[in-house]
Structure 1
Amino acid sequence: MPISQGLTAKQVQQRIDAGQQNEPAPSLTRSIKEIFRDNLLTWFNLINLVLGALVLITGSYKNELFLGVVIVNTAIGIIQEIRSKHQIDKMSLLSESTYQVQRAEGTVQLHQDAIVQDDLLVMQRGDQLPVDGIVRVTNGIEVDESQITGEATPITKQTGDTVVSGSFLVSGQAVVQATHVGAKSFINTLSGEVQSGESTNSQLLNTINRIIKILTIVIVPLGAILFVSRLLNHSSINQAILGTTAAMIGMIPEGLVLLTSVSLAVSAMNLAHHRVLVRELPAIEGLARVDVLGLDKTGTITSGKLQLSKIIPLNHQTLDQVKLIVGGTINAIGDDNETARALNSALADPGWQATQVVPFSSARKWSGVRVEQQNYVIGAPEFMLKQVPAELAKQIEGYAADGLRVLCIAQTSELQPDNLGEVTLLGLILIEDEIRENAVETFRYFQNQDVALKVISGDNPTTVANIASRAGIKHWDKLIDMSSLGDDIDYDQLVAKYTVFGRVTPTQKKQLVMAWQRADHTVAMTGDGVNDILALRQADCGIAMASGSEATKSIADFVLVDSNFDAMLNVLNEGRRVINNIERVAALYLIKTMYSVALSLIFIFMSNGYPFQPIQLTPISVLTVGIPTFFLALEPNYQRISGQFMRQVMVIAAPAAICVVTYILVIDLFGGVQFNLNYAETSTLSVLLTGAVCLVALLMVARPLNRLKLGLVVLMGGCFVLIFVFFGKLFSLEGIFNWAMALFYLPLLASVYPFFYLVQEIVGKRILARIDWR
């Protein structure tokens, strides 16, 4: 194929038809089909559907109202997650990389998924290859292939050499012909292996799913036994179906999983507004639990931009003379790396014309130019001089300890890549990394939240430690050069002792993360290069910059669209809000579950009918749980994570369930015998007292109270009373304005708060609070 022109439209279509098209970056969200499937096809939805069919047989159609609540809850979950998906997908488009591709009609800008086999890609310094290929045109490039070799040293490539996807051009430019695209490319193979690991873990969802798993085992056999018991106690089949349905509905905490998912989806949408993309929703919770944060120096602590700090003349040169030489040399060489940009922006260009140029090489660590019969070279002193004088070496070491990168400008007798001849130093050039704006405040916040900051970098540990000091990272002086260690490394000892890790290889990064995890820490890791993917995937929470590689972004839990690490504060707060609020409101869902299981077991052995009908549970579920928990779950709550989910839940749920069961037994045993109340009346009082207990529990959960939360509780309580006054018949409730009934239930209502408080003190705080619920 001619190199001067790219593929025609016909050739492109032929390759697309043959499946020789590159793959798009993995989506950060689930598909619409997956969202519908996961929200609709659940075990509890199946149980509710079966129960609804059984109620239909009885002809009591109003008792089907519980299905309306299930449908609304499921619809809310689907709609909210789809809204979140659209917002995140819209933001994802902003972070996608595009590439210049030579086609027959000219050079076009394409996303990586539009590239086909044999396309000609115009690659510039800093670009990452999205496909495997062959270099067709170049004057010489250097490629970072650290994802293959584990070595950060760039490799020189010439025309005809192969390059692999995931590689970065660190210098030069080239036209590369795509040879392997899509699943056949190296980076997709590597990413596939990395992504085959476990998904992000969620302690919160794991705990809730563990509860649901237990209920799954219990609910069907217990319901079947209760149904048979009702028939043996001479209940009609309709009464047995309604009672059993009410019992099983009560056991299902269907809204708890929904509320957790909706809360995480809302958080993901909020984070998208803060320019943070969330790959997996549980990761929001994961970052809130992190207590070790591994930081990459460039892009996280520093902005990635270099700036000229100072020029120090040597050998009787004046400052103005050295500035002129440095400015003329760097402009004549024409390098386009960060160091050259920093010098170009700070120094004037005298307009020298070069007669010979030796471009910068990471292997040589210098670049040079011949102008007006003089050779000038800029680079690292130790690579330009055969032996650095002791006094100068000490001076350079002092500058490095201050976090400065030391270069020198020199005049040479020769200008050959392997021979500079006699070298005369003219001055030292001090370059510094620019500390990212707000870095100090961001790191101080994390450290105040008991998150230990660790710096892991491939740079000189002394330089990195100084930068960490400038950024306010604690224990910055505890540093180690990983390249000085042998093969037998005790990583557990290293992570316990050091804060700054320099000269770290990709494999060592992963081993460090694993060592922290073995020490029972929850680890987050930042990164932007392909060499970071092993550590990012190993970490409990991976954070990638949008300016980084596509491979890194595809496996990270979070992508910072503006490559601004300050945005992680929003993630931390969103995670805490979700965990703290769900831990708080989960108790309200489990109250109904616990008393329903207990009552089902008790009424198996009683002759009286089950105290509730399905329709009667609706006011309790909606007014004391469903509506208030939705508002409570979304309020700001950024306190530190307690890690005591089950303990906090049980301290409220268990006493409340005990109170409900006690009141229902009192109503059933004494109301029918002493006050001659019929089943309709005892079931009405059961609803009344159960609602009263749940409202007290809601008051407890809403603490600390403010006007809005107190108003919410009062509003729910008022609506609950109105149900009895105006909508009693709809919910199969008898009138409560009856003095015979009032003499019985008013003392019980008056005792609800003190009785709840007493049970909570005895059972909740003295017994349950002492149990290890892990």
Structure 2
Amino acid sequence: MKQAVDGPGTLATSGLSAAEAQERAERGQANTVVRRGSRSAADIVRANVFTRFNAIIGTLFAIILVIGPPQDALFGFIILVNTGIGIVQELRAKRTLDRLAILGEARPRVVRDGEVTEVPAERIVLDDVLDLGPGDQLVVDGVVLAGSGLAVDESLLSGEPDPVARKPGEPVRSGSFVVAGTGRYRATKVGNAAYANELAEQASRFALTRSELRAGIDRILRWITWLFVPAAAVTVYGQLRAHQGPVETVRGTVAALVPLVPEGLVLLTSIAFAAGVIRLGRRRCLVQELPALEGLARVDTVCTDKTGTLTETGMRVGRVCAAAPGTTSAPLSGLSPVLAALAAADPRPNASLRAIADAFPRAPDWPVTASAAFSSAAKWSGVSFGGHGDWVLGAPDVLLAPGDPAVAEADRLSAQGLRVLLLARAGMPVDSPQAPGPVIPAALVVLEQRLRPDAAATLAFFAAQQVSVKILSGDSARSAGAVAGALGLPGAPDPVDARELPVEPAPLARELSRASVFGRVSPHQKRAMVHALQSSGHTVAMTGDGVNDVLALKDADIGVAMGSGSPASRAVAQIVLLDNAFATLPHVVAEGRRVIGNIERVAGLFLLKTVYSLLLALAVGVAHLPFPFLPRHLTLIGTLTIGIPAFFLALAPNTERARPGFIPRVLRLAVPVGTVAAVATFSCYAAVLAEGRASDVVNRTAATTTLFLVALWALFLVARPLRWWKAVLVAAMAVAFVLVLVVPFGRDFFALDPFDGTAMLTAVAAAGSAALLLEAGWWLDRRLRRPRRSRHGPAEHPR
């Protein structure tokens, strides 16, 4: 490789040629790893088809096909249709994720044929030369070739909190990221040989990792599996003692076991997650881990930076003024070349230096003898220009003593929401260990920031949802407070300087609960603040776009990165806002609440069916009675009171914040309501059997009607608070059942006879009594437990 000098003190290389890169790629020396933006299509089909309960249902389906009639095998076809819907939805979500992952993936800068170009990470080959700047994530292992103030944070790999300076000849590892300076390094390990390719893989994976919701559902499914054997044994014994023949015994046992399986619960969970991904994808929001939707539903605190979230990323120089009123430490007209030279000397300028470069484009040809890159911890940068002086640019209250007049003037300007930087002359080269040392103020550079037009509405949304917002800014506290105050954030008039905060978690948590705006926050303080909030029981979402946000993004319950942010911030975040719109965050939170709240709602319906099916199977078996249903009857009831309604309820709006305790809340609905349904149905069935005058068809019709009406009332309870479309949904299910009873084809297909007045009156009376009992229980539960009000006004039913 040819080497050349590219700027004073910076060693650069021409890198590989395109032909050399192609040759290495053909030899298998490219950075190719098994990395997917989502599960493969085969994985999706396998996950939806080959499940434990599909195997059970499939076996029972095959048995019914053998013994007939085919109407009783209807449950098998419904499972096939539902599974097909789940596969289609997940494939749609896969396409959405794959498309967004391509937009959001990191594109390293590689030197090829002497030119720097962006390429996908998988096109990097062995011996490639990569260009580095602040915020860049290292995607392969290598050795540093050149550097100017290069500092690398390896905390994501080693846990070591302090950045490590890297000089030419020293190794760097993939998974770390640049916090300051610039440089180039040569790739020595690529692909699966690189140290942290797992981190890069996890940055865009369609993950179904462990969560409270999925863990709860899995636990419930295990419990149901354990109940199968005793339920089957009791049912078979009861049918034989009731003098049922072998075929009737098998049919009754199948009818008893099929509804025990909440076959649609896992399916609807997948559909709800997939639909959430698709909805957010339309808003250019990349969900890199699906459980992030659940986490967002639980968020009660949002921590965010100021720049790039509340304000536009770009800035402009408003004016350059004297360091303090009445001072003339340096002619302001003579500082233009200095500012232009500082901006031009940085090969990867941050937003502040870009604004200065735009305002002062004519840079003098001054030799650079030393440079110090900006870092969020130091909050200053500098360049030594030989005979033209040593100059620094940074936070006035960091470079100067507290009582300096320039600090007071900077505070006055910051209180107007302006970003203020101090231009000062240092007394030593900026790369000295003691730099910058005492400085001589030269001028204040005032940068104007534009508020995002949607920021105020976003903060208002969080306030309405009782989600507190904490501004963690690297700017001065007064500047951050002024911006937050202009947006109406509660607590903005009393900003806090983070340098005065306690270190211990408990006192820090108390300060965080008291204030809303914090300035001069270092990267490690952001991380400590997230930990303090979590230790006091909060679920924290962290938003950011810079390298100084990476540690906090990684440790927050939910990390949200801006699409234009640093590659490192995008890699560790669970959610990436590709359009960089802070206003998208309310939609993301709302989608999380919709998914989790509705899954919990429909889970109660599915487990309700399991409870009443189990109790009916046990009661009939113990009483030695013929099982009151054919498989087709329970398929009809389940479809009209659970299957179809649950599909719509799972996709309905829901703004209630998710809370811990998924299993207790679901069982609190399913067990009592399921018990009432089973008692009412068994009582009706026993009563009509005791009369001894009706046929088996009439007896089964009475039991079917009772169970349908009680289950329909349970649906009515779950659907509350009632909206017009929910009322229409419940009414439509009732009409569908009536049509089955009155239309001859429906009566014949489902083997029902509704024309025995006494039996039907008994069924309606039993169902009415059960409905009154359920309604009384609902109102009592509502009175005993404080209702929560939704954003739309009416109190949500405590699930």
Do they superpose with TM above 0.5? yes
Q: Please tell me whether the aligned partners of residues 200 and 541 of structure 1 are also in contact (alpha carbons under 8 angstroms).
A: no
2:576 pairs with 1:559: yes
Change in CA separation of 1:109 and 1:307 when aligned onto 2, cut-off 3 Å? closer
Change in CA separation of 1:116 and 1:642 when aligned onto 2, cut-off 3 Å? closer
Deviates more, 1:496-505 or 1:208-217: 496-505
Q: Please tell me whether the aligned partners of residues 458 and 502 of structure 1 are also in contact (alpha carbons under 8 angstroms).
A: yes
The secondary structure found in structure 1 opposite 2:99 is helix
1:205 CA displacement: 3.5
Question: Equivalent of 1:177, from 161, 182, 186?
Answer: 186
Deviates more, 1:275-284 or 1:84-93: 275-284
CA distance in 2, matches of 1:702, 1:421: 68
Change in CA separation of 1:634 and 1:181 when aligned onto 2, cut-off 3 Å? same
Q: What is the one-letter code of the residue matched to 1:379?
A: L
Q: Please tell me whether the aligned partners of residues 142 and 172 of structure 1 are also in contact (alpha carbons under 8 angstroms).
A: yes
CA distance in 1, matches of 2:115, 2:392: 38
The secondary structure found in structure 1 opposite 2:94 is helix
Q: What is the one-letter code of the residue matched to 1:449?
A: Q
The secondary structure found in structure 1 opposite 2:622 is coil
Question: Equivalent of 2:757, from 742, 748, 761?
Answer: 742
2:447 pairs with 1:431: yes
2:703 pairs with 1:690: no
Deviations 1:162-186 (A, max 9, x none): 4444565677765432123234445
Deviates more, 1:176-185 or 1:199-208: 199-208
1:611 CA displacement: 0.6
User: What does 1:21-420 align with in structure 2 at a 5 Å threshold?
Assistant: 21-23=30-32, 27-103=36-112, 109-123=118-132, 127-136=136-145, 140=148, 142-145=150-153, 147=155, 155=165, 157=167, 160=169, 162-165=171-174, 174-188=183-197, 202-313=211-322, 324-333=333-342, 334-335=344-345, 336-345=349-358, 347=359, 349=361, 351=362, 353-357=364-368, 361=372, 362=374, 365-367=381-383, 377=391, 379-380=393-394, 390-399=404-413, 404-409=418-423
Partner of 2:465: 449
Q: What is the one-letter code of the residue matched to 1:134?
A: V
The secondary structure found in structure 2 opposite 1:82 is helix
The secondary structure found in structure 2 opposite 1:638 is coil
Deviates more, 1:203-212 or 1:401-410: 401-410
2:786 pairs with 1:758: no
Q: Please tell me whether the aligned partners of residues 588 and 698 of structure 1 are also in contact (alpha carbons under 8 angstroms).
A: yes
Deviations 1:418-468 (A, max 9, x none): 699998755322235544442232123212211122234555556545554
Deviations 1:170-221 (A, max 9, x none): 777654321232344455477799999x976544434433332321211222
2:678 pairs with 1:661: yes
The secondary structure found in structure 1 opposite 2:108 is strand
TM-score, reference length from structure 1: 0.85
Deviates more, 1:572-581 or 1:550-559: 550-559
Q: What is the one-letter code of the residue matched to 1:308?
A: V
The secondary structure found in structure 2 opposite 1:727 is helix
Q: What is the one-letter code of the residue matched to 1:33?
A: A
1:699 CA displacement: 3.3
Partner of 2:650: 633
Partner of 1:670: 687
The secondary structure found in structure 2 opposite 1:307 is strand
Q: What is the one-letter code of the residue matched to 1:287?
A: L
Q: Please tell me whether the aligned partners of residues 483 and 503 of structure 1 are also in contact (alpha carbons under 8 angstroms).
A: no
Change in CA separation of 1:664 and 1:156 when aligned onto 2, cut-off 3 Å? closer
Partner of 1:727: 745
User: What does 1:467-616 align with in structure 2 at a 5 Å threshold?
Assistant: 467-476=483-492, 477=494, 479=496, 481=498, 493=510, 495-497=512-514, 499-500=516-517, 509-528=526-545, 532-616=549-633
Give unpaired runs (5+ residues) of structure 1.
none
CA distance in 1, matches of 2:719, 2:402: 70
Percent identity for Structure 1 against Structure 2 = 34
Change in CA separation of 1:125 and 1:701 when aligned onto 2, cut-off 3 Å? closer
Change in CA separation of 1:412 and 1:274 when aligned onto 2, cut-off 3 Å? closer
The secondary structure found in structure 1 opposite 2:186 is strand
Partner of 1:617: 634
Change in CA separation of 1:456 and 1:33 when aligned onto 2, cut-off 3 Å? farther
CA distance in 1, matches of 2:52, 2:551: 36
Q: What is the one-letter code of the residue matched to 1:46?
A: A
1:82 CA displacement: 1.1
Change in CA separation of 1:463 and 1:149 when aligned onto 2, cut-off 3 Å? farther
CA distance in 1, matches of 2:504, 2:784: 47
Change in CA separation of 1:528 and 1:146 when aligned onto 2, cut-off 3 Å? farther
1:471 CA displacement: 4.5
1:69 CA displacement: 1.0
Q: Please tell me whether the aligned partners of residues 683 and 766 of structure 2 are also in contact (alpha carbons under 8 angstroms).
A: no
1:84 CA displacement: 0.7
Q: Please tell me whether the aligned partners of residues 285 and 575 of structure 1 are also in contact (alpha carbons under 8 angstroms).
A: yes
CA distance in 1, matches of 2:785, 2:325: 78
1:76 CA displacement: 1.1
Deviations 1:312-352 (A, max 9, x none): 23699999x9664344433344244422322243x465x46
Q: What is the one-letter code of the residue matched to 2:246?
A: I
CA distance in 2, matches of 1:217, 1:684: 31
1:610 CA displacement: 0.7
CA distance in 1, matches of 2:501, 2:149: 30
Q: What is the one-letter code of the residue matched to 2:699?
A: T
1:60 CA displacement: 3.2
Deviates more, 1:673-682 or 1:762-771: 762-771
TM-score, reference length from structure 2: 0.82
CA distance in 2, matches of 1:521, 1:486: 19
1:493 CA displacement: 4.9
Change in CA separation of 1:286 and 1:161 when aligned onto 2, cut-off 3 Å? closer
Deviations 1:710-736 (A, max 9, x none): 333333222222223233465441333
CA distance in 2, matches of 1:706, 1:337: 51
Q: What is the one-letter code of the residue matched to 1:440?
A: A
Deviates more, 1:147-156 or 1:269-278: 147-156
1:283 CA displacement: 1.9
Partner of 2:793: none
Change in CA separation of 1:289 and 1:133 when aligned onto 2, cut-off 3 Å? same
Kindly report the root-mean-square deviation, in angstroms, between the aligned alpha carbons of the 2 structures: 4.3
Deviates more, 1:41-50 or 1:124-133: 124-133
The secondary structure found in structure 1 opposite 2:643 is helix
CA distance in 1, matches of 2:405, 2:144: 45
Deviates more, 1:421-430 or 1:451-460: 421-430
The secondary structure found in structure 2 opposite 1:455 is strand
Aligned length: 762
Change in CA separation of 1:488 and 1:647 when aligned onto 2, cut-off 3 Å? closer
Q: What is the one-letter code of the residue matched to 2:239?
A: R
Give unpaired runs (5+ residues) of structure 2.
4-12, 787-797
Deviates more, 1:461-470 or 1:629-638: 461-470
CA distance in 2, matches of 1:509, 1:383: 19
